[in-house]
Chain A
Amino acid sequence: MARARHPTEDPTWVKALVLAVVAAFLALVLILPLAAVFAEALRKGLAVAIDAIAHADALAAVKLTLITAAITVPFNVVFGLCAAWAVAKHDFPGKAFLITLIDLPFSVSPVVAGLIYVLVFGLQGWFGEWLLDHDMKVIFAVPGIVLATIFVTFPFVARELIPLMQEQGVSEEEAAISMGASGLYTFWRITTPNVRWGLLYGVLLCNARAMGEFGAVSVVSGHIRGLTNTMPLHVEILYNEYDFVGAFAVAALLCLLAIVTLVLKTALEVAQPAVRRGGH
């Protein structure tokens, strides 16, 4: 080789070895499962797969998944902005503890997340009788599914916004306010534009999790076809009925959602490198 190797550069054989090991590992762990989903979905041809997705129960599941995400994501955006404004732009005792509490749902098993709402709103739960008397249903109905999804995705947007707003400090907001801008105007014209890419990043991850959540939703849904089945639950039902093509066809649709999420996320990271943070 014409160029001498820089002392902090690995020898070529080390590079080749590391890349080979990494490529083999990622192929086995990540690429193979993804490929298997599409291969199984198309096992009996594209038409059969599309039929499975166009089935009334599958379409109802798609609709419920979209409704759940449409409630969960805006809720978490409003909460995330509130929490980030309070935590990042002000000083108060117990701030670190509050951030830990906001993060708490990350370390709670999704099954436990479902269980807690059964204990609160279920027939034997705190409000079970009251809900029954007023002819309202939370568990085994859409409100329970939405609540469980909100719990599981709770930290996503706030977690993205808090460090970002902390880094940006308060000088721009203080300048605006000292020149007579109202708080709301300052928030809308100064803070929001500064954090919009971080917000989008959080929304992207929150949406993917909201549409894909399984454990928590599984506990509160009751698996009523056409009524309380989200797409991941529909996948489970079809799979357990040995309708593998149907299960993998709906799964392939969810894979496409994941791929779109990853493409948008990567595009965002390339365009706005500042949004890239540690993993969730």
Chain B
Amino acid sequence: MTADSPAAQRPVAARRPLFRRRSAIPGFGLTLGVTLSVLSLIVLIPLSAVALKAAELSPSEFLAAAFSQRALAAYRLTFGAALVAAVVNGVFGVLTAWAMVRYEFPGKTVLNALVDLPFALPTAVAGIALATLYAPNGWVGQFLTPLGIKAAYNPIGVTIALVFIGLPFVVRTIEPVMRDLSADVEEAAASLGAGRLATIWRVILPALGPAWLTGFAMAFARGVGEYGSVIFIAGNMPYKSEIAPLLIIIQLEQFQYAQAATIAVVMLVVSFLMLLVINAIQAYSRRFV
């Protein structure tokens, strides 16, 4: 490259050129090619089918399918239950992570392994187990019935299933950050006279903020799409306990493909927004590491 070429006149601050010098490691073209082809064939092209199918409807038909009274009720339940479940997991997930990171107690290894149960247990199994537990005559349901609480076949049941599904997302996202919190900051706070509660409230929890939000958003996103663990306990009554993914299946069974795709598009847009939020939180938090 000669000194008077345009590239040499670029400001020095451009630290990352578009293409770095060719890497000495071979196989880039092959592996990137395979990655992009498989990604397109399995994920991207089929996903575009949903948008194309929904686009077959006229705008007014699209709006009618996307925001019918029944669909709106399903969104309300799906997003509402996922939000409540994520809040519940946000609280108990922090406590669980705290116990796993800070305390030693008998049975810790087993309990720690069990936190991942929702990742490993098929959702249908969780679904029938929860439906049986919270049915009016079930192990837990029999204590709720006298209190006038109807858990199964009700929105409460949907929330219970989503708490089960979301728990590990919160715990496993917070845990590594909690473990890496350096003791110095806490010691400094304590030596400056902060009480234990003040240290936790003003020093530890703010540091966990981004991880907590990420875990919360992941649990919420997973809860919105969840199907298997919910349908058994939900009761699936239209307008009352019918979740959005189930509505897609019902439309599909009535051969209303475009309507099913429309609801899927609404859900995809929401998931995509959640993904952006999660990435933004992570990018924001990395600035402080």
A contact residues vs B (CB 8 Å cutoff): 7-8, 10-11, 14-15, 18-19, 21-23, 25-26, 28-34, 36-37, 40, 79, 82-83, 85-87, 89-93, 98, 100-112, 115-120, 122, 124-126, 147, 150-151, 154, 170, 173-174, 177-178, 183, 186-187, 205, 208-209, 211-215, 218-219, 231-233, 235-236, 239, 244, 247-248, 251, 254-255, 257-259, 261-263, 265-266, 276-280
Q: Given the complex of chains A and B, what is the CA–CA distance between A125 and B125 in angstroms?
A: 32
Name 9 interchain pairs, CB-CB below 8 A, sorted by A: A86-B28, A109-B248, A183-B25, A205-B119, A211-B122, A214-B228, A231-B122, A263-B113, A279-B119
- Whether B111 pairs with A26 at a CB distance below 8 angstroms is yes
Cβ-neighbour of B187 out of A8, A91, A103 (below 8 A): A8
Q: Which of B2-10, B63-71, B126-134 lies at the interface with chain A?
A: B126-134
Q: Given the complex of chains A and B, what is the CA–CA distance between A86 and B31 in angstroms?
A: 5
Residues on B with beta carbons closer than 8 Å to the beta carbon of A173: 25
Q: Given the complex of chains A and B, what is the CA–CA distance between A262 and B119 in angstroms?
A: 9
Q: Given the complex of chains A and B, what is the CA–CA distance between A122 and B260 in angstroms?
A: 14
Q: Given the complex of chains A and B, what is the CA–CA distance between A61 and B222 in angstroms?
A: 27
Q: Known: A115-B261, A116-B50. Is A212-B121 also a contact (CB below 8 A)?
A: yes
Cβ-neighbour of B116 out of A174, A254, A265 (below 8 A): A265
The answer to whether B274 has its CB under 8 Å from any CB of chain A is yes
- Whether B221 pairs with A10 at a CB distance below 8 angstroms is no
B contact residues vs A (CB 8 Å cutoff): 18-20, 23-28, 30-32, 34-36, 38-39, 42-47, 49-50, 53, 92, 95-96, 98-99, 102-103, 105, 109, 111-126, 128-130, 132-133, 138-140, 163-164, 167-169, 171-173, 176, 183, 186-187, 190-191, 196, 199, 215, 218, 221-222, 224-228, 232, 244-246, 248-249, 252, 255, 257, 260-261, 264, 267-268, 271-272, 274-275, 279
Residues on B with beta carbons closer than 8 Å to the beta carbon of A178: 24
Q: Given the complex of chains A and B, what is the CA–CA distance between A218 and B231 in angstroms?
A: 12
- Whether B113 pairs with A115 at a CB distance below 8 angstroms is no
- Whether B260 pairs with A215 at a CB distance below 8 angstroms is no
Q: Known: A22-B92, A33-B129, A151-B43. Is A15-B103 also a contact (CB below 8 A)?
A: yes
- Whether A7 pairs with B123 at a CB distance below 8 angstroms is no
Cβ-neighbour of A215 out of B28, B98, B125, B228 (below 8 A): B228
- Whether A124 pairs with B43 at a CB distance below 8 angstroms is no
Cβ-neighbour of B43 out of A93, A105, A232, A248 (below 8 A): A105
Cβ-neighbour of A22 out of B96, B120, B224 (below 8 A): B96
Cβ-neighbour of A232 out of B36, B45, B113, B125 (below 8 A): B125
- Whether B119 pairs with A208 at a CB distance below 8 angstroms is yes
Q: Known: A107-B225, A219-B252. Is A183-B27 also a contact (CB below 8 A)?
A: yes
Looking at the assembled complex, report how far the CB atom of B50 sits from the nearest CB atom of chain A, in whole angstroms.
6
Which residue of the partner chain A has the closest CB to B255? A124
Which residue of the partner chain B has the closest CB to A40? B132
- Whether B196 pairs with A10 at a CB distance below 8 angstroms is yes
Looking at the assembled complex, report how far the CB atom of B78 sits from the nearest CB atom of chain A, in whole angstroms.
9
Cβ-neighbour of A110 out of B164, B199, B227, B275 (below 8 A): B227
Beyond contacts A8-B199, A255-B121: 4 other A-B pairs, Cβ-Cβ < 8 A, are: A28-B140, A124-B255, A214-B123, A265-B120
Q: Known: A101-B44, A170-B23, A258-B117. Is A107-B221 also a contact (CB below 8 A)?
A: yes
Residues on A with beta carbons closer than 8 Å to the beta carbon of B267: 109, 112
Which residue of the partner chain A has the closest CB to B167? A29
Q: Given the complex of chains A and B, what is the CA–CA distance between A215 and B43 in angstroms?
A: 17
- Whether A115 pairs with B260 at a CB distance below 8 angstroms is yes
Cβ-neighbour of A262 out of B95, B117, B123 (below 8 A): B117
- Whether A115 pairs with B264 at a CB distance below 8 angstroms is yes
Q: Given the complex of chains A and B, what is the CA–CA distance between A111 and B74 in angstroms?
A: 15
Q: Given the complex of chains A and B, what is the CA–CA distance between A10 and B195 in angstroms?
A: 11
Cβ-neighbour of B249 out of A25, A107, A219 (below 8 A): A219
Which residue of the partner chain B has the closest CB to A259? B120
Q: Known: A79-B35, A111-B249, A239-B128. Is A7-B187 also a contact (CB below 8 A)?
A: yes
